[in-house]
Amino acid sequence: MINDLWYKNAVIYNLALGTFMDSDGDGVGDLRGLTRRLDYLAGLGVTAVWLQPFQISPGRDDGYDVADHYSVDPRYGTLGDFVEFTHAAKSRGLRVLIDLVVNHTSDQHPWFQSARSDPNSPYRDWYVWSKKKPPNANTGMVFPGVQKTTWTYDKVARAYYFHRFYEFQPDLDTANPEVQAEILKIMGFWIQLGVSGFRMDAVPFIIGTKGAEVTKPTEQFGMLRRFREFLQWRQGDSIILAEANVLPETDLDYFGRDGDRMHMMFNFQVNQNLFYGLASGDAGPLKEALQATKPRPATAQWAVFLRNHDELDLGRLEESERERVFAAFGPDPDMQLYHRGIRRRLAPMLDGDQRRIELAYSLLFSLPGTPVIRYGDEIGMGDDLRLPERNAARTPMQWSDEPQAGFTKSDRPHVPVIAEGPFGYPHLNVAAQRGDPASLLNWTERLIRMRKEAPEIGWGDFDVLETGEPAVLALRYSWRNNAVLAVHNLGAKPVEIALDLAGPEGAPQLIDLRSAKHLSAHEDGRHHLLLEAYAYRWYRVGGLDYLLRRSDT
Ligand code: NOJ
């Protein structure tokens, strides 16, 4: 049944345990705290939660340096707490996805400790070594500026080891069958504890060839099929959501032309062009990005997102476009990360202007794919640029105006809460917004409800409709006799557009999904819309009986 593909129409909420809710007053968010907040998430309407790494880790890359893949870091709780959590989530109809970080481990991982200290260790070949410094050692850094090389000499091993990321994250030799078997075992373990799948970290690097002699890594796509097959055998409805910031030409290699590789991928192409659109008011490049990423197998799905825990990467844009986004959203060098991206949250980038935040969110929920929202964005949380690098946008959730934003009873949270300024917790918090019908929180809840009533977006095929207005994006989704139209004005000026929607049965009525302002065609057979600055409209195409989707489909 096509309806079994739950991820095609999910609403995913991304959070880091340590900054979400602290239950025991030690200043670090934990599993019990999150479990207590599941009713909040269910009430908001999200259908899946993606947890960032919570396994034992020295924490030098916010948990993306795992030291034991089969554990819960004691700061967050126990494996028992984890199972309580997945059980509690399930009983509210929420699915759980977790990060799977297997391109590399922490250098403190017992595998690496064993591998470095003994050339005959069974783990020696789990990592990538070279006796001599490879000629390409100063290329391919993911964190230029803070990372000087991809090969570091280890005195204990008396050899260089390869690390795509920081030097404390040695790469696993993922081509080694033993490593691959271990990756499957890790997946099997967490599946057994109740998760519905994984956000797989750094996928292009996992499947890329590694070694001193490799000058240009080539992707071993067959590996993706093996991961998927294993998952499906273990638990048919579990998925992999790939973090693969790749060019559209290779999307189908990642999804698999027959849909036999990754179930989902983050749409970085759309993400960057969407921010360009928000910065410039020009929807053109976003339309191109949508067309470029349109082909995908029927069972595959894009994950659409605005911000995440990393910087807003702008590497895909043309130089002039990138400069435009920097100028609009990160003009101060302190807001940027090595001129590669922007380390801010969404709301401050949009000057806290609710109209523009709503526009961005309306786009997020109506672009082709499954929306992924980041904790705190539903209340318009801000960032703290005094914190180093990407940490600026990783501050604790603001629950109330109680001390420390109601996040912890400790007076020393491990990451400071935002206390001052327009985004400070005394006035920007969940409790305050709950009581205000016009708040961003309540607006987001209504938006999520509307998105659920428009499953055409997840299932259907889309057309980009021509409007003649560069600032306007009009998308029509069709699926099984139902159609939805989403129209956005990215610009700061009001515009008038006319849409030609007439079919063999004449011009349909447009039923506004947010208000009673339904629209009929003009005498010229076209629908005329006056869109205010940053306006967004969602319509169901058809008569009033289409207000709700026809439930037989
Ligand atoms: C991608 C993650 O999103 C990022 O936060 C992390 O630093 C790298 N992968 C390395 O694991």
Average pLDDT of span 61-83: 98
- Cβ atoms of 52 and 36 within 8 Å: the answer is no
pLDDT at 480: 85
Which of 2, 172, 181 is closest to 104 using CA atoms? 172
pLDDT reading at 222 higher than 60: yes
In this structure, what is the dihedral angle of CA atoms 383, 386, 390, 395, given to the nearest 10 degrees? Answer: -50
Atom of ligand 1 nearest to the CA of 165: 10
Average pLDDT of span 25-30: 98
d(CA 482, ligand 1 centre) in Å: 39
Give the tens place of pLDDT for each residue, 265-279. Answer: 999 999 999 999 999
pLDDT confidence bin for 21, thresholds 50/70/90: very high
pLDDT at 548: 64
Give the tens place of pLDDT for each residue, 277-289. Answer: 999 999 999 999 9
Which of 327, 325, 307 is closest to 315 using CA atoms? 325
Task: Give the span between the Cα atoms of 374 and 41, in whole angstroms.
Answer: 12
Give the tens place of pLDDT for each residue, 94-109. Answer: 999 999 999 999 999 9
pLDDT at 553: 47
pLDDT at 184: 98
pLDDT reading at 43 higher than 60: yes
pLDDT at 69: 98
Q: Which of 14-23, 177-186, 517-526 has the lowest average pLDDT?
A: 517-526
pLDDT at 2: 47
Q: Is 165 in the pocket of ligand 1 (CB under 6 A)?
A: yes
CA quadruple 333, 334, 336, 342: dihedral positive or negative?
A: negative
Task: Give the span between the Cα atoms of 311 and 271, in whole angstroms.
Answer: 12
Average pLDDT of span 159-174: 98
State pTM to two decimals.
0.97
Please report the DSSP string for 333-354 in residue order: GGGEETTTEE---HHHHTTT-H
pLDDT reading at 550 higher than 70: no
Average pLDDT of span 150-166: 97
Please give the share of the chain, as a percent, with pLDDT higher than 70: 97
Average pLDDT of span 343-354: 97
CA quadruple 76, 77, 79, 81: dihedral positive or negative?
A: negative
pLDDT at 144: 81
Please report the DSSP string for 51-77 in residue order: EPP-SB---TTTT-S-SBTT---TTT-
Q: Is 310 in the pocket of ligand 1 (CB under 6 A)?
A: yes
The helix/strand/coil state of 15 is strand
pLDDT at 366: 98
Q: Is 389 in the pocket of ligand 1 (CB under 6 A)?
A: no
Please report the DSSP string for 99-130 in residue order: EE--SB--TTSHHHHHHHH-TT-TTGGGB-EE
pLDDT at 547: 62
Task: Give the span between the Cα atoms of 488 and 159, in whole angstroms.
Answer: 56
Q: How many CB atoms lie within 10 A of CB 516?
A: 7
Give the tens place of pLDDT for each residue, 285-324. Answer: 999 999 999 999 999 999 999 999 999 999 999 999 999 9
**Mean of the per-residue pLDDT values of the chain:** 96
Average pLDDT of span 80-96: 98
pLDDT confidence bin for 120, thresholds 50/70/90: very high
pLDDT at 241: 98
389 annotated active-site: no
pLDDT confidence bin for 535, thresholds 50/70/90: very high
Give the tens place of pLDDT for each residue, 439-494. Answer: 999 999 999 999 999 999 999 999 999 999 999 999 999 998 889 999 999 999 99
d(CA 456, ligand 1 centre) in Å: 32
243 annotated active-site: yes
Of the candidates 107, 171, 219, 243, the residue annotated as catalytic is 243
d(CA 81, ligand 1 centre) in Å: 25
Tokens of 276: 């360009």
